[in-house]
Amino acid sequence: MAKNMKVAYLLDFYGDLLTDKQRDSLEFYYNDDLSLGEIAANLGISRQGVRDNIKRAEAVLFDMEEKLRLAEKFSEIRAGLLSVRKEIDIIDNKNMKVYRSNEINESIKVILKELDKLDKLNS
């Protein structure tokens, strides 16, 4: 069974929507890199039961992402925040070299403080 690492990412967003055995199966398989046999021993079920749990859980995760797009939106927000930080660095460097404006410097500090808040919310 080939691993789709997007599943581990989606597990962070939608893992609470799975049954305990489904979630445990995925965590053991993707996060702990255990084999189906090792997972079966840990959960007290057959290898086929583990495989079925994984397949059903993956389907739930992909279905949730298709409907809600939380992981996609999270990634887009994170990319946007990184882009804004890069632009702020460019403005800050230009200000330090050319303008030396305290007003621009203070505005940059306010923007960076707000970006830090958004980063914490988006983590």
CA gap 92, 96 in Å, rounded: 6
CA gap 16, 77 in Å, rounded: 22
Number of other residues whose CB lies within 10 A of the CB of residue 39: 24
Q: In which residue are the tokens 């203070």 written?
A: 106
DSSP 97: I
Question: Mean pLDDT for the chain?
Answer: 95
Q: What is the identity of the amino acid at 72?
A: E
Is the CB of residue 5 less than 8 Å from the CB of residue 30?
yes
Interval 5-53: pLDDT, tens: 999 999 999 999 999 999 999 999 999 999 999 999 999 999 999 999 9
Q: What is the identity of the amino acid at 9?
A: Y
What's the whole-model pTM score? 0.82
